[in-house]
Structure 1
Amino acid sequence: MTTPLTARRREHGHAAVSRASDSATSGLTGVRVRARTLAPGTALTLAGTAAALGVGHLVPTLNPMLVAIVLGAALGNTVRLPARATAGLAFSSRTLLRVGIALLGLQLLLGDITALGWQVVALVVVIVVLGIAGTMALGGALGLGWTQRLLIACGFSICGAAAVAAVDSVSDTDEEEVLTAITLVVIFGTLMIVAVPVLSGALGLSDTAAGMWAGGSIHEVAQVIAAGGAIGGGALAVATVVKLARVLLLAPVVTVISLHRRRTTGTDARGTRPPLVPGFVVAFLALVLLRSSGLVPDPVVDAASLAQTVLLTCAMFALGIGVRVAAMRRVGARPVILAAASTVWVAGLALAGVLLIAPTLGG
């Protein structure tokens, strides 16, 4: 026999199931709508990434991330892209970038960095700290805005375009400033690929010292690898580890910037407080510790390296599309002057430190 109480319970149960079903259906519909919104721009990004990776495979000396920026810029300046591609391009340049930066943590071993010795580790910290401080001061003297100076300072002192984009994600910058900084990283970092090996030979630096200078002064990881390979000998391994030590400092620098923004602005453009420590920075550090623990098998590291390359190439292509030649002309000569000065300043700091500790290097 069904009592009124039992009937009410059944009705409530059916209602709960119905609400849960409606919620699941609504969530699935939202995912589908989001996927359709992102599809055009994401598909374009994947096509550009495939082209960049193909060029990198055919010409191993060309890094696909740098190729992607050039291809994106060429496309953005010659073709009028449909508005429906905007959402997918924004997703690629921000979300995929953050995942790629986080995965970069699996390429870092704390043991490799500490094995350099305290002098080299201290030198890396000095390069990053004084590189940023000096570039900010030079930019101020040139009359550039704080955010433009900050993007160039971090890009040139830490790890190039990835650092620029990471800083952009936690600071109130505009798109033109970001694209200007990334373009300058590509130009001046590429020049350093040639300059460092030539000057190292002229100065009579050993392979170890030259590798340290390359790793301590050149902007992008890919550019460091190219220069280290050009120097030859044991320079490549040393250059890569020193550069990755600079990359490791991206986490504390971005955290400091985020804290500064919380204190000075309180909220972002959407009225929410920026995170105390950005999620991708936490993930980056967690993966560094995980890799350093020795628990990650080599095949996983290799797969993560491939995924990181693909994701960062996607991000660079999407960012490259936003590079406008007209906008570069509009920003004038001052950012270019600051980029040149910052390159010389960071390279000078690195060279002075290498010469100071060279007698202890044993190579």
Structure 2
Amino acid sequence: MTAIKTVTPDRVVRIAPPLLAAVVALAISTWIPLLGPLLIALLLGATVANISFVADRLPAGQEHVAKLMLRLGVVLLGLRLPFGDVLRIGLPGLAIILATVFVTYSVTKTVGKRMALDPRFVTLLAAGFSICGAAAIAAIDDAVSAREKDVALAVAMVTLFGSAMIALVPWFSGPLNLTNDQAAVWAGASIHEVAQVVAAASLLGGGALAVATTVKLGRVMLLAPVYAIAARGARREDGTRMPLVPWFVIAFVAAVALRSTGLLPGTALDLASQATTLLLAAGMFGLGVGFMIKDMWPLPWAAFGLATFSTLVAGGVSLALVLTLI
């Protein structure tokens, strides 16, 4: 049995920069909510990486710290997902969630392959656009081991297109004559980030927020099976196969089960929610530290095109099912 590692001054020094960056990102996101704390943390990391005299002073081992924090953040994400709430949206809602996630994921993968894009980037984009944005990208990256610039690009795309849908979904709901429930389900099934869904649902009014958020969390629950699909056949740098279900995905499922019992008090859930965002943002900072701005030039128009297509698939498939089933 592996001994539990003790907390040493060296480890404290290593985790201090990403945690501080996460706090700063959370503060900035209150002023610029459309960007979200995860993208802001990633940008902070990229900024540090591209200022040599600052980057040289960062403690070693930031990549390992980032991966650990991302994994812990994904685990705590499970505490946001009461399984009973998702079941209450009924069979039509569950069918919309399942179809939208797996059609968006598989079609994005297929088109990305035909566009000759890096398959690891395509997998990240497919997961982010079909499940839960940056958090899904961070989790799936553990399976595919993508380049830092591909992770950054995928997060940027999911933020850009998800932010656009905050306005577009409520705006199109009027001309399409959607009911409040239909519009809420469409928002939850098509928009990429949880925070983006909340913003769009608030524009719809009525009881849309609860419905849209529940549908969105139903998509988040599919993180474990999509991880298993992404990890199938994937290999580590040393040539060994990636596990189909790593420890943090098992812990994520266990957290969902714990949340579903209703035993945790509201205070604990609030703290866990804040810790989730903090850990994911800290991890994103660590990923950003490995990103060089020069690697983004020339602008990857093919990636932009795939992100546009994936958004249209998620929005179109979910809308068609909403009009048919709700």
Q: In 1, are the aligned partners of 2:19 and 2:279 still within 8 Å (CA)?
A: no
For the pair shown, which has the larger CA radius of gyration, 1 or 2?
Answer: 1
User: 1:315 aligned to 2:288?
Assistant: no
Partner of residue 106, structure 1: 79
Partner of residue 13, structure 2: 39
Partner of residue 254, structure 1: 227
What RMSD in Å do the two structures reach over aligned CA positions? 2.3
What is the rounded CA distance, in whole Å, between the counterparts of 1:94 and 1:348 in structure 2? 34
What is the rounded CA distance, in whole Å, between the counterparts of 2:41 and 2:138 in structure 1? 15
Partner of residue 165, structure 2: 192
What is the rounded CA distance, in whole Å, between the counterparts of 1:164 and 1:309 in structure 2? 14
- Seen in structure 2, the aligned counterparts of structure 1 residues 82 and 320 have a Cα distance that, compared at 3 Å, is closer
User: 1:306 aligned to 2:274?
Assistant: yes
What is the rounded CA distance, in whole Å, between the counterparts of 1:73 and 1:233 in structure 2? 40
What is the rounded CA distance, in whole Å, between the counterparts of 1:172 and 1:66 in structure 2? 19
What is the rounded CA distance, in whole Å, between the counterparts of 2:70 and 2:55 in structure 1? 22
Q: What do residues 142-181 of structure 1 show as CA deviations (whole Å, max 9, x unaligned)?
A: 1213222111111111111111111110124222222221
What is the rounded CA distance, in whole Å, between the counterparts of 2:34 and 2:302 in structure 1? 31
User: 1:143 aligned to 2:121?
Assistant: no
Q: Shift of the alpha carbon at 1:64?
A: 2.7
What is the rounded CA distance, in whole Å, between the counterparts of 1:283 and 1:180 in structure 2? 28
**The structure with more helix, counted as a fraction of residues:** 1
User: 1:282 aligned to 2:250?
Assistant: yes
Q: Shift of the alpha carbon at 1:214?
A: 1.0
Letter aligned with residue 282 of structure 2: C
Q: What do residues 91-115 of structure 1 show as CA deviations (whole Å, max 9, x unaligned)?
A: 3431101101101111111111110
Q: Shift of the alpha carbon at 1:354?
A: 0.9
Partner of residue 183, structure 1: 156
What is the rounded CA distance, in whole Å, between the counterparts of 2:34 and 2:148 in structure 1? 30
What is the rounded CA distance, in whole Å, between the counterparts of 2:11 and 2:80 in structure 1? 33
Letter aligned with residue 36 of structure 1: D
- Seen in structure 2, the aligned counterparts of structure 1 residues 326 and 60 have a Cα distance that, compared at 3 Å, is closer
The residue correspondences of 1:1-363 to structure 2 (distance < 5 A) are 32=8, 35-36=9-10, 39-40=13-14, 42-57=15-30, 63-77=36-50, 80-83=53-56, 85=58, 87-261=60-234, 265=235, 268-330=236-298, 332-358=300-326
- Seen in structure 2, the aligned counterparts of structure 1 residues 131 and 60 have a Cα distance that, compared at 3 Å, is closer
- Seen in structure 2, the aligned counterparts of structure 1 residues 332 and 67 have a Cα distance that, compared at 3 Å, is closer
What is the rounded CA distance, in whole Å, between the counterparts of 1:178 and 1:190 in structure 2? 18
What are structure 2's unaligned runs of at least 5 residues? none
Of structures 1 and 2, the one with the larger relative CO (CA 8 A, separation 6+) is 2
What is the rounded CA distance, in whole Å, between the counterparts of 2:191 and 2:40 in structure 1? 18
What are structure 1's unaligned runs of at least 5 residues? 1-23, 359-363
Partner of residue 16, structure 1: none
Q: In 1, are the aligned partners of 2:134 and 2:158 still within 8 Å (CA)?
A: yes
- Seen in structure 2, the aligned counterparts of structure 1 residues 341 and 285 have a Cα distance that, compared at 3 Å, is same
Q: Shift of the alpha carbon at 1:256?
A: 2.6
How many residue pairs match? The answer is: 323
